[in-house]
Structure formats: structure tokens, C-alpha cells
Amino acid sequence: MRVEEMMEKFNKRAKSMEQKGEINSRYYQNKTQAAYLQKVLAAKDEGKPRAWVSLFVPTELFWAMDIVPFVVEQFVIQVLASGAGYHFLDAGEAYGFPKESCSPHLATVGAALSGTLPPPDVMICSGQSPCDSASVMFENLSYVMKSPIHYATVPYYQGQEAIQEFKEELKQLIAFLEETTGNKMDYHRLRQALETYKAAQEYFIKFHKLRSLIPSPVNNRTAFASFGIGLTCSGMPETIDFYQAQYEEALALADQGKGAAVEERHRILFHGPPPFWYMRLVEWIEKEYGAVITADIFNHFPLNNLEDTSDPLDALARRALTCFGGALMHTAPIRATANWAVEAGREYKVNGAIATTHFGCKQGCSRTRPIADGLRNELGIPVLILDIDVGNPAIVSVAQMELKLDQYFRVLEQQREALAV
């Protein structure tokens, strides 16, 4: 599937919903994604450089320099989720990229070789974060696409010193982009993009905090949709409408005392990525077992927002390291992540937890045991460690995942009945 096809898919959904009068968060989600992909496609005609960037590089920087960021692995994840890109896995493996690596990275190499992706003028990778597989992928992509590349190293610790270190990395990145593309940084536009991020993030935070209510007014699929927009479209004005709609929909349910599930029986903390190729799994546990995911690693760690943006470069470093859950989860010490899980478990009143171990994700899997032990020891809740693959259905089947989940929820039901007695 090409970018043009994906964009048209989002546009058709939005138009259909508009004709039906369904102006809701899903409508704004589709409009935002379509607008983003339109910018990616139009870059060449508009004389703007196109940058392939890794997942956790802050996109606001590129909008401020009139460079269009294409979060290439996230696009390939969307293609795999649609069921249209499995042949890219074979192409990546045939090229020689390790099949034991993260499947979206394997598929991205295959997609680049196939010529279906809009070519880059430059590539930016966030060093070894979130994973070394991404770094190796970008090294190969730079060779395949014959593109200059820059690595912006993300610190492996937290605090003000880390922010200042990453600020220096961003300065080097800007200098590289200015020299490579000829485009200059506009710090006024950078501050505007960060103010847009700040306005959207305010709704994002309020939306996810509503998940602590009993019953939770946020369904599982909607919660995960929230994170995806932030990966690719952060800094775009369209994101404000999307996050505002998500918040207002959840607030309306909360005001009526209604929950997302017909009957909320279990409140789950979710650590790790879901199988994006089979997102119906999180819908299934909600409908079959009344299991609502009230906290997850992507959206809840942390729930911070920017304050002062007068120094836009400092604000950008803080946005990347302290306001974005995925980045902080991968750069924080494991103990900090485990402590977050325990605190979130208490605040969001969970009685169970699911920790996914994505095949090929060494960094993510290494955090599973400390987090599971912390939840068991501190909160006394059982934790299911669920083997998955985010992009390749050949690794773990639907039947295997559903069998383990069914066994797990039987245990939770027994606990529920025992507490009732």
C-alpha cells in the first residue's frame, strides 16, 4: 500500500462520516491522518525537503524549518495493521535484514526496497532509543535510499541534566538540517508549533485522567488511537480538534455515570504494545470479559504538559523527554518504569495487568519482569505475560493469544467471586 492509498482511505472515511453527520473523534482522527499524509506527498511539489524520522524524534522541529517529517516506521505499522504489507516482511528478510528484529523495521526495509515509499531528502534517527533495531534499520535505509543521515542521541537518564544534554543534541540536529537542506530554523514558528502541542496536550491529559473513574468512560480502542496521532502529527493544528473531541466524548459519558463497556468487570493496566495487526483483541476482551484498559504505558507515563515556551529549544527538549510517554518509558531506568506501573495501578484502580512481550523487542521485553514483579508484590494483582508480535501474524496466532487471555480472565473472575463472598 502506497501513501496515496492510505491517505485516500482516511479521506473516504472522513467524508463518509461527514455525510452521515458523525462529527466525532474518529472523524477528526481520519481528517488529521489524511492531512498529515497529504503534507508528506506534497513536499516535493511544494519544494520542501522530506525527512524520514524515527518514532521519538519531535516533529515540531521539522514543521518550524519547513521540512516535512515522515515517520516511516509508523506508516509501515499502519500498512501492516491494514493487512496489506506482509510481503514487505519477506522482502526485508530476502535483503538480509535480521528476521529476529522488530517486524515493522523488517517490513520498512522491505517497503523501501520495493519503491512504494516517497523518497527522503534526509533521515533522522533518535539514536538507540527507543531500540537498537531502529538504529540498524535506519543505517540500512540510508544505504538503500542513498540519503544523508543524522543520529540525535537521547540520554539514558532523567532530570535537568538530561534535558540540557538533549538540547545540545537538538542544536547539532538543526545545524545538520540547515547545512543539508538549506532551510533555516525559524524559532518563532517552533514556539508556535509547541504552543499547538501544548493546547492539544491539555485535552490529551484531561482525557486520559477520566479513565480513573469507575466505570471508565474510555473504551480500549479509543485509548490506543490517542497515542498514534501524537507520534506523527504533533505540532499540527488539527490535533487540537481530535484531542478535544476525545475528551468531550468521554466527559459526556462520565457526566452520565456511564462506562465504555456494557458491564465493567475488570480494570486492566496494559504494558507494552498491542498486536497492531489484530487490534480487535483489545475490543474482544472488553466485550467478552468486561475488561477495560484504564492505564497503559504509552498514554500514562507521564501525564505532563509544557509550561513556559519562551525558550523554544529548551521547551522542545522537555517536550521530548518529560511529556511523551513512549520516550520516557524507554529512557528511564527500569525501576522508574516499574514504580510508575505500581502508582498507575493504584490511581486507576486496576485489578489485573497484561504485559505484552513483542517478538524482536529486546528493550521492551527486558522491562516486563520488573514491572510484573512490582505489580504482584506491591498491589497483589496477577499479571499475564502475553507473547505477541506487533506486525507479523505468523509469530503468535489469534487463537494462541485468545486462549491465554481466556485462562487469565477465568482467574480474575474467580478472584472477583471470592471478594464478593
Q: Are residues 155 and 255 in the same domain?
A: no
Of the given ranges (285-299, 344-358, 359-373), which has the lowest mean pLDDT? 359-373
Residue 24 has pLDDT above 70, yes or no: yes
Residue 64 has pLDDT above 90, yes or no: yes
In a domain, 34, yes or no: no
d(CA 391, CA 386): 15
pLDDT in the model for residue 113:
96
d(CA 248, CA 357): 33
Mean pLDDT of the chain, nearest integer? 93
Residue 382 belongs to domain spanning: 188-420
In a domain, 28, yes or no: no
User: Residues 88, 111: contact at Cβ < 8 Å?
Assistant: yes
pLDDT in the model for residue 348:
95
Name the pairing type of β-strands 122-125 and 149-151.
parallel
Residue 301 has pLDDT above 80, yes or no: no
- Number of domains composing the chain: 2
In a domain, 36, yes or no: no
Higher-confidence position of 302 and 90 = 90
pLDDT per residue over 308-334, tens digit each? 999 999 999 999 888 776 666 666 778
**Sheet of 50-53, strand order:** 68-71, 50-53, 122-125, 149-151
pLDDT per residue over 88-108, tens digit each? 999 999 999 998 999 999 999
Residue 127 has pLDDT above 90, yes or no: no
CATH number of the structural domain spanning residue 306: 3.40.50.11900
Chosen domain end from 164, 185, 206: 185
Q: Are residues 139 and 197 in the same domain?
A: no
Running DSSP on this structure, what letter comes out for residue 41? H
